[in-house]
Structure 1
Amino acid sequence: MTGPILGPADLAVRREQGPVTILDATVELAAAAHDGDHRSASGRPGWERAHIPGSLHADLLHDLSDPSAAYHFARPAPEALAARLADLGVRDGVPVVTYDRAGGIWAARLWWLLNWIGVDACVLDGGLAAWRSAGLPVTDVIVPAAAGAVAARPRDGRWVELADLRRWSAGETEATVLCALNPEAYAGEVPTRYSRRGHIPGTGNLPARSLLDGDGRFRPLDELRSDLAGLLADPAPIWLYCGGGISAATLGVALTALGRDDVALYDGSLEEWSADESLPIQLGRS
């Protein structure tokens, strides 16, 4: 497959041409009702009720995260991630398509993990809703995973850590750092799932949802290329964050599709940053 974004009709054709592994990455994450409200649940029950035939549910909440980390949804070690993906039938040489039922952020997060360890993967543009809108079938029949085998080949430069952000904040390293949250969350105007509201000082705001149309599909790439021309021409590497490294992955997919190959995610994002009272948080939209 070419490019990180695949339309429903293209996926239907691709399935007729040869094997492809399809993974539903949905997590149920409620909007924060108060500061510190981090309610979440597996998306598996929804997948069981209706999913793309032959797909499996990939559990980003538990199986595909590091339970020992101090923040939610932390990436596992490459070898652990590869082993868990193999349990889902992922095999070297067989492409993977990720999708979700929640606007694409979870599919993008899973794509980022797959791409990091060298697995050929695409995001289904518009997720299950777009698949259904195209008149394609869904089912509640669960097909067991086939035997998988994945060799982890992690790519450098896909992640930045808290120490990297500290150095950037101190002016010791060059990067363009963007927050993918909506403007209200970026400004600290609404409740947050984390310890403190606001954003990392000095970072810009490019809401992940601004890259999508009203149906949850990526806007045309030519349109995005025009709107993001300044960012695409920026000579500095691009670092992305959000609340927990999920929405930022949507920006990562889009920027990859637009040709940037120097994009990294801050995995801990605001959950990790805000938990350290010694680190500054800025309120407001500027």
Structure 2
Amino acid sequence: MGMSRAGHADDDQFVVHRSLLFTVAYELLGSAADAEDVLQESWLRWASVDPVWIREPRAYLVRIVTRQALNHLRTVSRRREEYVGEWLPEPLLTSPDVAEDVELAESVSIAMLTVLETLAPTERAVFVLREVFDVPYEEIADAVGKTPAAVRQIEHRAKDHVSARRPRIRVVDSEHKDVVDRFVVALNTGNLQGLMDVLAPDVVSVADGGGKVRGAARRPVIGADRLARYLVGSISKVEGELVASAVWVNGRPGIRVELNGQLVAITSLTVENGQITRVCSIANPDKLSRVNEETALSR
């Protein structure tokens, strides 16, 4: 996509803010592919505007991207109703430095994106723009077509909704990574006891195979004993070499699973009190295209 045009300075503001705009769109949609579509549409709108009229390019661009993402959200929510099995966000390979911005890392985590999925589109946009990107109420109101007073009410409702569902405990990355590493060792050795040791008794495991992956559980697997036996059983049925390794996924330590050298799943873990409380495995091949190189995220 050509990025220079008459009347615009060479350091086009769209290019300058691209990783921010991608992050906004991705947090609103939970899909990198959809976020890229939104950026493409937003770029076309931006390209048709005379920059002389734009006082604050960053705010203007965030507004365009939010509007496009909201249009998109209404379309994809219908698509997701027909989705086979559990729908999980599309994972991204991120650099360890994303984790240094704790709030950004939490906001793009698979756990948080899954919670955001339960909000109505406007609530999601208001929550993300206010809580993650600190956009002023007037600008959010303009982007979502509401009054600033209505936006404040929506934010309050969305915050209550999210806080009731997000993981209770903030875990430092070193502790999270330690648990992930132990889980990886137990997976690679098929060690039932090793798995039991890191799984919380009431752990919930959700898999997204999109109806395209044999063996991906269509319903959540609940409980440490059931999950450990399910994992060991699945590993024993595999033909070839299954290898798990630790990677940075959506700002957190996660797991890459390969079968005979081919990527078959990305797994994100929620850790509380040194144990895994939730396992999210994305195996739908359509969602695994963004985990071979790092995606730049910023706010």
Fold match by TM threshold 0.5: no
Give the helix-richer structure, 1 or 2.
2
The structure with the largest alpha-carbon Rg is 2
- TM-score normalised according to structure 2 size: 0.29
- TM-score normalised according to structure 1 size: 0.29
